[in-house]
Amino acid sequence: MPRRYGQTNQPGNRREQPPAKPAPKRKRRAVPAVLLIMVLAAALFFLRWKVWPAKPADQTEPDAASAEAVQEQPKRWSLLLVGADKPLDRAFTLDLQKVEDIRVDARIGDLVKMMLAAAKADGVELKICSGYRSVSQQTKLYQDKVKEFTDKGASEDKAKKKAGRTVQPPGCSEHHIGLALDIVAPYHPTLDEGFAETAAFQWLKDHAADYGFILRYPKEKEDITGIDYEPWHYRYVGPEAALAMKESGECLEEYVGK
């Protein structure tokens, strides 16, 4: 075969093809910082609720902010004072037990059942219309009561002051700690002073202390408790304290303040 111009059989004269370029390396994608933060937050949440569960109500340590607003409380959980000038520690927790249609502190649930059964055995039927209340429930009750007075022409400040005589502001009610009961009778379901004329009230007056309950806001103690007379409102303080207060005629503030 004839040779073409420039063609040769000498290997040294062969044209070399340029080497192939290596394939570019794939860059590793950095883990987004937001994803890393989410993973860490989830891990902390798990440790908080699974490894270190919340402390029971009577062992919870108050946080710094709320501790400034709370007076030094008695060590006995059943004598805890809560009110407008003694707001509940925001770190407070409790276990609840259902009794009929209401919830109470689990530590008093059986005593409440025993008291209701004893009254029934004596021919008296008691009806608990309120026990534990959340802050949101108390907020609505308080706002409704304030509005009731503002609608009648009272200023906002005066309305709050009047409302506080019967409905405590949110965070300041004994109902938050599950130790307070509003008790009525099926034939007298309203929360008013007329309950004091019923057989149900008389039975509670005679026997409530045996189960650890006191009439929390008695007549002629309004200046001390800061609350108007409420013959329907009962508070668990323990049998020993209840019987002592029944004998002395003291209210809870007086008994704790000794």
Asked if 214 and 252 count as a contact pair (C-beta separation under 8 A), the reply is yes
Over the stretch 57-79, which tens digit does the pLDDT of each residue have? 333 333 333 333 333 444 589 99
Compute the distance between CA of residue 215 and CA of residue 209 in angstroms, rounded to an integer. Answer: 9
What would the mean pLDDT of 129-155 be, rounded to a whole number?
Answer: 95
Asked if 56 and 92 count as a contact pair (C-beta separation under 8 A), the reply is no
Q: Is the pLDDT of residue 141 over 70?
A: yes
Over the stretch 12-61, which tens digit does the pLDDT of each residue have? 444 445 555 555 555 455 446 655 566 566 555 444 433 333 333 333 33
Q: Is the pLDDT of residue 128 over 60?
A: yes
What would the mean pLDDT of 136-151 be, rounded to a whole number?
Answer: 95
**Residue, of 4 and 83, whose pLDDT is higher:** 83
User: What local confidence, expressed as pLDDT, does residue 125 receive?
Assistant: 97
User: What local confidence, expressed as pLDDT, does residue 76 receive?
Assistant: 87
Tokens 């959340």 — which residue? 134
Compute the distance between CA of residue 93 and CA of residue 62 in angstroms, rounded to an integer. Answer: 11
User: What local confidence, expressed as pLDDT, does residue 42 receive?
Assistant: 59
Compute the distance between CA of residue 87 and CA of residue 107 in angstroms, rounded to an integer. Answer: 22
User: What local confidence, expressed as pLDDT, does residue 46 receive?
Assistant: 43
Q: Give the residues across from 180 on adjacent strands.
A: 235
Over the stretch 175-209, which tens digit does the pLDDT of each residue have? 999 999 999 999 999 999 999 999 999 999 999 99
CA end-to-end span of the chain: 128
Over the stretch 73-121, which tens digit does the pLDDT of each residue have? 445 899 999 999 999 998 999 999 999 999 999 999 999 999 999 999 9
User: What local confidence, expressed as pLDDT, does residue 45 receive?
Assistant: 47
User: What local confidence, expressed as pLDDT, does residue 258 receive?
Assistant: 65
Active site residues: 230
